[in-house]
Amino acid sequence: MSHKRMPRRKAAMAVGGVAALGAAAFLLPHASASQDAGQDGRTPGGTGTARTLRATDAPGLDARLRRLLGDAFAGSYYDSGRQRLVVNVVSGDDNVVGQAEQAGAAVRQVANSAAELRAATRTLTTRAAIPGTSWAVDPRTDKVLVTADSTVTGAAWDRLRSAVRGLGPGMATLKKSAGTFRTFASGGDAIFSQAQGGGVRCSLGFNVTAADGRPAFLTAGHCGVAAEKWSDTQTGEPTATVDRAVFPGEGDFSLVTYDDPGTRAPSEVDAGDGRTVPVTRAAEATVGQAVFRMGSTTGLHDGRVTGLDATVNFQSETDPGGVDTVTGLIQTDVCAEPGDSGGPLFTQDGGALGLTSGGSGDCTGGGETFFQPVTTALRATGATLGGAGAGDQAGAGDQSGSGSGSDTGSGSEAGAGVGGDPAGGGGDASPAPTDGSRTGTADDGSPALTGTR
């Protein structure tokens, strides 16, 4: 977005850019491999032939299977290569398998139940809440994936490794990340504030309408905790005020209301180069799903969802010996950097998924990034998707998706806290990089959008 001062009753700090998305799509999902079904349509260890479905339909089928299978359900993920939802089951009952196959899923029998994996993550929370660690259930391996960043060494590493071993064989995988888990405060379109210790820069996520009808937007909670007043220019007068902020704890989100009640804030994502993606609904993420992230620091990048209901343990921003733990996040392999906090995670067809929280790595070497689910933020704040006056008023109760990942994830690297770039840089949102851009078709066969990892 342009960082010149916007007229009142115009799109102050709007997510949208200056031109609507035309017939030619421009984002391409990252074509990463997942655990594919066999040539006969059967998944390893499974039976039957699954039906193809679009990625946008996967959350609905996942929710149906949870209800249908009960305790036999052990997680699911979307196989983008074959356009199928793979469901894990722990029961060898032919009736259970048949029900899942009849519903349209590819069935895979696994050893660890969802309850056992959730219990493992609770044990880790008790024994290994060490700064620089994270964990999430990975339905593709039927294990808990535990990650330690480069700061976890010596006694801390020994403690973590002991906790993982204590879970028993076949229950968890431990890996090291070359980067450092950090917050990405500094962002769609950039927003700025002055806080104790200097300036703060974040990204606007999605425009919404607050419960009382005021125009507002969602961004990262650690941004809202850091500062109360926000502007769309580095040195401009504040144009929005934090209404509610959650961080750390059960999420990382803020509801920020525009000071001018006449602000028209469009329901769209600025994808750089004057291009926009209309946002039509809030949706739940699915493991394996192709996603896109926009941030004012690094522009447009794409990747896949790798975990849900993620937990991350960050070094506290206020207590050198403390830990800031955030739960309930979406884990991805999309890159991000400081300044991208709060920016939107979305699908090529306009589904709003999340708000950038943090992670490790960068957009040169890659890394992991974690996101606050939009649906959770909408329910908690009572807001509805779409800017006031924008004509896109999908209410929180109408949001598509059905909590597809409550059992398929439970830990990962989320970013939070303020430690981002000081408000010294900034300018217009960065255009999507051109190196490595891709074109083609999306998971569901629709026209492709172009982007980079």
Supply the residues annotated as catalytic: 222, 252, 341
Q: What is the mean predicted confidence (pLDDT) over 314-337?
A: 89
- Residue 320: count other Cβ atoms within 10 Å of its Cβ: 8
Q: What is the mean predicted confidence (pLDDT) over 289-313?
A: 92
| Euclidean distance between CA atoms 414 and 245, whole angstroms | 16
CA angle centred on 70, ends 69 and 74, rounded to 5° = 80
| Euclidean distance between CA atoms 96 and 76, whole angstroms | 15
pLDDT in tens, 410-419: 333 333 333 3
Q: Which helix (H) or strand (E) holds 351?
A: strand 351-362
| 167 strand-pairing partners | none
The alpha carbon of residue 126 and the mean position of all alpha carbons in its chain are separated, in whole angstroms, by 25
Say whether pLDDT at 441 is over 70.
Answer: no
Whole-angstrom distance between the N-terminal and C-terminal Cα of the chain? 22
| Euclidean distance between CA atoms 184 and 247, whole angstroms | 14
pLDDT in tens, 196-248: 667 888 999 999 999 999 999 999 999 999 899 999 888 888 999 999 999 99
Q: What is the pTM of this model?
A: 0.73
Say whether pLDDT at 450 is over 60.
Answer: no
pLDDT in tens, 371-410: 999 999 999 999 999 754 433 333 333 333 333 333 333 3
- Sign of the alpha-carbon dihedral angle for 279, 188, 329, 257: negative
Query: Which positions ≥6 away from 327 have C-beta within 8 Å?
Result: 249, 250, 251, 309, 310, 311
pLDDT for res 183? 52
Query: Which positions ≥6 away from 77 have C-beta within 8 Å?
Result: 34, 35, 85, 86, 139, 140, 286, 287, 288, 408
Q: Where are the domains of the chain?
A: 112-453
